[in-house]
Structure 1
Amino acid sequence: MNRPPGALLSNLLIVTSPGETYIPTASLTLGVIGHVNHGKTALVRAMTGIETDRLPEEQARGLSITPGFAWRGYPSGEIDVIDSPGHEDFIRAMVAGMTGVRAVLLVVSATEGFGRQTREHLQIAALLGLRVGLVAVTKADLASPDLQAERRADMQATLAGTFLAGAPVVFCSALTGQGLDQLHAAIDALRSTAPPPTALPGAFLPIDRAFTVPGAGVVVTGVLQGQPLTPDMRMVLEPSGRSVSLRQVQVHGRTVEAAPPGGRVAVGLRGVTLDEVRAGDVLCSPGHFTATSQVDVRLTLDAGAPRPLKHLDQVRFMWGARQDVASVRLMGAGVIKPGADDFAQLRFASPVIAYAGQRGVLRRLSPAATIGGVIVLDPDPPVYRGRPGLRRAVLEAATTGDIQEIAGQLAARDGGTLAMAELTRLGRCDAPAAQLNLALDYQDLGDGRFAARDALAAARTAYLDLLAAAHRATPTRRMAAVGDIRGAFARHTARDIISAVERALAAEGAIRLDAGRVALNGHDPLATLSPGALSQLDDLEVALREGGLTPPDPASLTGGDPGLADLLQLLVEDGRAISLRNVSLRQTLVFHPVSLDEAVATLGSAFPPPLAFTTGEARAALGTSRKFIVPVLEYLDEMGRTTREGDVRRVVEA
């Protein structure tokens, strides 16, 4: 029987014998596919000693309805065997059974040859990315040598052009044992040619069965992908987001300390009831996979599809151990013709869970038929809103798997920056590997953001050029508005890059930043003024000084001359004048700083601390009007020269 003593034929979770230690090898999962009644289940039973038809209805009808599971040890290691239903009514179960499969055993009856479901199963296997396998021609004991030769020629002709072209073809009989040794040898050899398990940043277990076992609680099973599973791990059930922990992990009916990816596992769960988990859910590592309502894919329409696939068509999407109805948003033309492929976004009515690189099968809703396949490129994309340009470029890069290419397209889309989370999701790698790959060409900006070094260099040059141009345009202004400089190239450059460049320039002393203003460190507007302008500047300062606490209005002081207005602003920026605002009158007032210092001295003499004074008393003491006294006192409060307590103030002792 080739299974441990006491293992249940149904592959339920069981308790390992006391003291028994089982260290599983990384399994190869073999999918057994083919037309109904071609002998798949009998062949698996003869190969493994395990009856995969576990349901009473299956045993009564002699017909597989759900995937059956078995396993066998080989010289190269253990191989899991998944017996897929062959009837056309159970395509969903067949696709679910192919989850995690890395090689196929195509079963064809020697007495009947290729059937309709033989071809559809082969088509589905190809759409799911299978590239390795072999062919078992069953019931060979019922076929004469001439018929066997005819079937072999038929196999070669039919499989030409498929991924099984040139694959081993073994004639065998589950009844007599004919050819089983040759079949086992061919299966054992598959391990060296099959691709490795899918590389993912965390564990990903599509659940194909959920049930309860006395003493073990809720148990789920499936083919493990990504990373190993160990008891007591914290995991998440998606797409519900429910947190659970692992009570026990078993492989082939035996408790293990770690289950490697690539084979079937059974897992006992804590923190969940059977009503809260179902086939089609995914048990996965927290923080690595996100439930979403849309995925971006590369969609291939089969050459034999009866008609083109149109934008907004509804399809049935079978992937992992689940199926969903999806709306197709095409990103190129409004239609995909049979035999063609294109990028699309699949939109779902409720959240789903996927990973980049996952494959699935598309079927028409009615009449039901397999029409194509997809490969998921982005399992958590933004909602597609009909602007394909840069999005197509990003997805095209994702199909290559080249981290540098993907990073370049993300940076081109986002003004020179990229998010590490999106890069690792599209590139199917972890953050340390991606960062190592980007080290030469990208700079870490913090918070998971990276910027292209050439984009940073270009932004630095642009920032300095724009600031120099601003100084030339307004030579009398000591500083320019930061918002004007940033906004001048924000359309084409990410804000993260502008901020990083600005911080770097300030840190190295190339620019000065002050309260929303910026200037080149060497900029001196006084050096650009003519002797006449310098004289006008002095005249403005004298006028303010002579005005004391009743200075002339800026408009009357400059006479509407833009040049004089710029000179007055320069006095303010140099600290040779103070600009205050009378909010109630909506007026800007300009004072000489000496006048404000003298005001403090006058108030201190008239109301020596701790004496208090009102606004009216201050106005009388300073000989000014309400227009000026309110902004003056508010300024003195702000500078800490006076303090206000309700309706009175006091001068602060020096």
Structure 2
Amino acid sequence: MRGLSSKHYTIGMAGHIDHGKTTLTKALTGVDTDRLKEEKERQISIELGYAPLKMDDGSLLSIIDVPGHERFIRQMIAGVSGIDLVILVVAADEGVMPQTKEHLEIVKFLQIQKGIIAITKKDKVEDDLLDLVREEIMDELEGSVFHHAPVVFLDSTKNIGIDDLKETLLGQLEDIQHKQESGDFRLPIDQVFTIKGQGTVVRGTIMEGMVHTDDELQILPSGIPVKARQLQVHNKMVDKAKAGQRVAVNLPNISAEDINRGDVLVLSQTYETTDTIDVSLKFIKKLQYPIKQRSVLKVHIGTAEVMGKIIFFDRNEYQDSNEEVLCQLRLEEEVTAKRGDKFIVRRPTPVETVGGGWVIQAKGSKYKFGEDTIRTLQKVKEGSPEERVTQAFSKNKLLESKDLQEETGLTKMELDSLLEVGKLIKIKDKFYTGSENVKATLHQVTSYIHAFHEANPLKAGVAKAEILSNFSNSVPKNLVEHVLQSLQDDGKIMRDESLLYDASFEPHYPPSWKKRMEQVVSGIEGDGLTPKPFEQYGREAGLPDKELRDLQHYLIRQEKVYELDEKHLVSVKIIESSVSRLKKKYPQELELSAVKEELGLSRKYLIPYMELLDAIQITKREDSVRYWV
């Protein structure tokens, strides 16, 4: 499949109950997605089923078999939220059924643009009637994304039409815009479970960005920090997972009870939580009952399902007008959302899907009823230059001028205006980024440096290369370098050769090891010019190896000790005292015998001592005699 081998797509298998979605999924992938006992007994899918589909070119697609029964529409919406293409399964002997139509509405509201019609159970209909079946189904699908979709006839139990479906699938995927791998990582969670011996695992489809093993993450809306200990894509261990992939993330040190379906796993602080969203909303053509002001609706966004009230600003109720409505959803619980996110609304009783749309502003406020508010929301929907720039940089943190203009539709003059007011930042005369991106990166970088100092109080600073490496997966190098230079220019961080450190930081003993480290230093000073091996002091003080190594580097860097040889350290004060003593007695030159007599050193310490004086340029050797420098 040309160009798809490095990309990842999620395919939804939707349709009415008992039209053969699970059987078709198994024919395509070899995986039976009905995994629960009650699903086997009742022969219906209750939970989302997932299966990998390996294509001929080696690329791997994720097939989601979403439940078709009306009672399980909630799980279906959770599955569809990450889907790139839908295979609509329609049984040849039954045609388009009520649940099929509801699935179609959901696909429309989530703005999934590509679809394939899989007409299953062709063996149930005479061959000469198949064209009639196709026509009847296409008539029912008129006006939907499937009206011009390719059609494939199948008999999944006999493997008839499966190859045709795969070939059709390849052709459709080539035109799909791929999810943003370069954006900030976001994984709406649709499954949470515990594996014995491993701990908590969450699963979902990555909406944007990328995640790596050992990434420090956050669960929203709770804000709980977590770490990605292991990643799996379709039961295979991987080091990283990208947008569009179905991934399982092992999260240590957190209970499954602390995570819910609908929570979102994120990498950065770009994402916000909110309980008030301004939206552009469309309703289905024929509502059973009008939607009244402040009606309670069930809102499905990402994989979250929350109750909320609809707030109109230009009417007191909505009945069949088929127009877009700018309004607000006030939710009972916070969700993670940003501009552009799609959602579905359902009436809780009588249960029905009533509409869907997209978020025009993730953090809404309370507005007055009237046309002024509608005009304001219309401007928000259309997006000011600043909002369009913000949206562009939510996908890519750095853009060249040409790409930024293409992404936002703004002129160079409009971009220059944003530069003047500080909403747009230019980097290295080539790239642009938003002020919020700079602000967020500055916060991340300073937090990282502070955390490094806290974890490594003995070290003078953190290497610039280490900072760049740490953010290489989430922030462009040029942006990090820009922020580091800005912090240096403002005097907030200092540089010592390759090390960077907070301007207010001074290396110091960690409080928990201070007394033992002082014991080591006292021991070195007490033993004068005949110290024991440095590791021995550490063992006697009960210092772990890491802390002892850090202490050694600290003492040398702070010029508190010299390295007498590779195993022994000697106090700088002791060296200075001994040199003063020798200069007083031998003001012109030194010989080994004289130093040995004066300081009482054995050859074991005498030779390293003299070589140290040469190395630190206190003495200069000529044959067997040394002179003071």
| Inter-partner Cα distance in structure 2 for 1:191 and 1:353 | 28
Q: Deviations over 1:243-271 (max 9, x none)?
A: 11110112121122221101201111133
Q: Distance in 2 between matches of 1:138 and 1:447?
A: 54
**Alignment-mate amino acid for residue 52 of structure 1:** T
Identify if the C-alpha distance between structure 1 residues 343 and 434 changes in structure 2 by more than 3 Å, giving closer, same or farther.
Answer: farther
Deviation at 1:311, TM superposition (A): 2.3
1:378 equivalent to 2:361? Answer: yes
What is the match of residue 133 of structure 1?
A: 115
Task: Name the CA distance, whole Å, in 2 between partners of 1:84 and 1:253.
Answer: 20
Counterpart in 2 of 1:366?
349
Deviation at 1:221, TM superposition (A): 0.5
> Map of 1:26-41 to 2, 5 A cutoff?
26-41=7-22
Letter of the 1:424 counterpart: T
Q: CA deviation at 1:123?
A: 1.3
Q: Name the CA distance, whole Å, in 1 between partners of 2:311 and 2:188.
A: 26
CA-CA distance at 1:406 after TM superposition = 4.3
Q: Using a 3 Å threshold, how does the CA distance of structure 1 residues 34 and 404 change in structure 2: closer, same or farther?
A: same
- Equivalent in the alignment of 2:255: 273
Corresponding residue number in structure 1 for 2:214: 232
Q: CA deviation at 1:305?
A: 1.6
Asked if structure 2 preserves the Cα contact closer than 8 Å seen for 1:75 and 1:188, the reply is no
CA drift at 1:119: 1.0
Conserved 8 A contact 2:7-2:178: no
Kept in 2, the 8 Å contact 1:201–1:227? The answer is yes
CA distance in structure 1 between the partners assigned to 2:279 and 2:199 by the alignment? 38
Instruction: State the TM-score, normalized to the length of structure 1.
Output: 0.59
In the alignment, the residues of structure 1 paired with residue 367 and residue 425 of structure 2 have an alpha-carbon distance, to the nearest angstrom, of 24
Amino acid at match of 1:53: D
Q: Residue 47 of structure 1 aligns with which residue?
A: 28
* 1:24–1:236 distance in 2 versus 1, CA, 3 Å: farther
Q: Which amino acid aligns with 2:347?
A: R
Do the aligned residues in 1 keep the contact of 2:275 with 2:330 (CA within 8 Å)?
Answer: yes
1:64 equivalent in alignment to 2:40: no
Range moving further from structure 2, 117-126 or 329-338: 329-338
Residues 32 and 104 of structure 1 are in contact (CA less than 8 Å); yes or no, is this contact kept in structure 2? yes
Contact conserved, 1:294 with 1:379, CA < 8 A, in 2?
yes
CA contact (8 A) 1:248 1:268 kept: yes
Q: 2:72 aligned with 1:90, yes or no?
A: yes
- Does 2:261 match 1:295? no
| Contact kept in structure 2, 1:243 and 1:271, CA below 8 Å | no
Q: 1:433 to 1:25 in 2, by over 3 A?
A: closer
Query: What are the superposed Cα offsets for residues 53-86 of structure 1, whole Å, 9 maximum, x if unpaired?
Result: 0101101111111110011111452211000111
- Equivalent residue runs for 1:212-251 within 5 Å: 212-251=194-233
Amino acid paired to 2:193: F
Residue 118 of structure 1: aligned partner: 100
Deviation at 1:363, TM superposition (A): 1.0
Given the alignment, which residue of 335, 347, 361 partners 1:352? 335
Please give the secondary structure, in 2, of the residue aligned with 1:52: coil
Say which SS state the counterpart of residue 259 (structure 1) adopts: strand
Alignment match of 2:310 (pick from 304, 312, 328): 328
The structural deviation recorded for 1:96 is: 0.8
Is 2:393 aligned against 1:424?
A: no
Change (3 A) 1:296 1:327: same
Q: Is the 2:314–2:369 contact (alpha carbons within 8 Å) kept by the matching residues of 1?
A: no
Aligned residues: 411
Matches within 5 A, 1:97-112: 97-112=79-94
**Aligned mates of 1:329, 1:433 — CA distance in 2:** 37
Once the two structures are superposed, residues 210-266 of structure 1 have per-residue CA deviations (whole angstroms, 9 ceiling, x without a partner) of 112234221110000110111111111011111111101121211222211012011
Contact 2:213-2:231 at 8 Å conserved across structures? yes
TM-score, normalized by length of structure 2? Answer: 0.61
Tell me if structure 1 keeps the 8 A contact 2:183–2:397.
no
CA distance in 2, matches of 1:449, 1:390: 33
Aligned residues of 1:300 and 1:341 also touching (Cα < 8 A) = yes
d(CA) in 1 for partners of 2:315 and 2:198?
Answer: 53
Cα distance in structure 1, aligned partners of 2:220 and 2:176 = 29
Query: How far apart are residue 429 of structure 1 and its match?
Result: 4.7
Distance 1:326 1:302 in 2: 19
Displacement after TM superposition at 1:387 (Å): 5.9
CA distance in 2, matches of 1:428, 1:396: 21
Question: In 1, distance between residues paired with 2:417 and 2:375?
Answer: 20
Q: Measure, in 2, the Cα distance between the counterparts of 1:257 and 1:390.
A: 51
> CA, structure 1 residues 426+74, in 2 after alignment: closer, same or farther (shift >3 Å)?
closer
- Check the 8 A contact 1:328/1:345 in 2, yes or no: yes
Structure 2: state its 5+ residue gaps: 406-413, 427-629
3-state SS in 2 of match to 1:344 = strand
Contact 1:34 1:117 in 2 (8 A): yes
2:147 to 165, 180, 192: 165
Relative to structure 1, the CA distance from residue 434 to residue 208 in structure 2 (aligned partners, 3 Å threshold; closer, same or farther) is farther
CA distance in 2, matches of 1:328, 1:352: 16
Return the match for 2:241 from 238, 251, 259: 259
Match of 1:337 among 303, 319, 338: 319
Secondary structure of 2:96's counterpart equals coil
In the alignment, the residues of structure 1 paired with residue 385 and residue 399 of structure 2 have an alpha-carbon distance, to the nearest angstrom, of 12
Measured after TM superposition, the shift of residue 204 of structure 1 is 0.9
Judge conservation of contact 1:345–1:384 (CA < 8 Å) in 2: no
Amino acid paired to 1:58: E
Matched AA of 1:118: T
Question: How much has 1:446 moved relative to structure 2?
Answer: 5.8
* Matched residue, 2:299: 317
CA contact (8 A) 2:184 2:395 kept: no
1:355 shift after superposition: 2.1
CA separation in 2, counterparts of 1:390 and 1:249?
A: 49
Radius of gyration: which is bigger? 1
The one-letter amino acid of 2:37's match is P
User: Which SS does the other structure have where 1:193 is aligned?
Assistant: coil
1:185 counterpart (145, 167, 174): 167
- Structure 2 counterpart SS, 1:118: helix
- Counterpart-to-counterpart distance in 2, 1:372 and 1:432: 36
Query: Could you say if the C-alpha distance between residues 132 and 183 of structure 1 is closer, same or farther in structure 2, counting changes exceeding 3 Å?
Result: same
Matched, 1:440 2:416: yes
Shift in Å, 1:316: 0.9
Alpha-carbon distance change, 85 to 282 in structure 1, aligned in 2, over 3 angstroms: same
Instruction: Tell me which residue corresponds to 2:492.
Output: none
8 Å CA contact 1:227, 1:261 repeated in 2: yes
Q: Is the 8 A contact 1:200 1:428 kept in 2?
A: no
Question: Does the 8 Å contact 2:180/2:209 carry over to 1?
Answer: no
Residue 79 of structure 1 is matched in structure 2 by 61
Distance, in Å, in 2 between the alignment partners of 1:27 and 1:215 is: 30
Is 1:377–1:426's contact at 8 Å kept on the other side of the alignment? no
1:298–1:343: 8 Å Cα contact kept in structure 2? yes
Q: Secondary structure at the match of 2:25?
A: helix
RMSD: 2.6
Question: How many angstroms apart in 2 are the aligned matches of 1:198 and 1:332?
Answer: 36
Out of 47-56 and 299-308, give the one that drifted further: 299-308
Q: How does 1:462-501 map to 2 (within 5 A)?
A: none
Cα shift readout 1:36-64 (whole Å, capped 9, x = no counterpart): 00111011011100010010110111111
CA distance in 2 between counterparts of 1:199 and 1:129 reads 20
Distance 1:399 1:195 in 2: 22
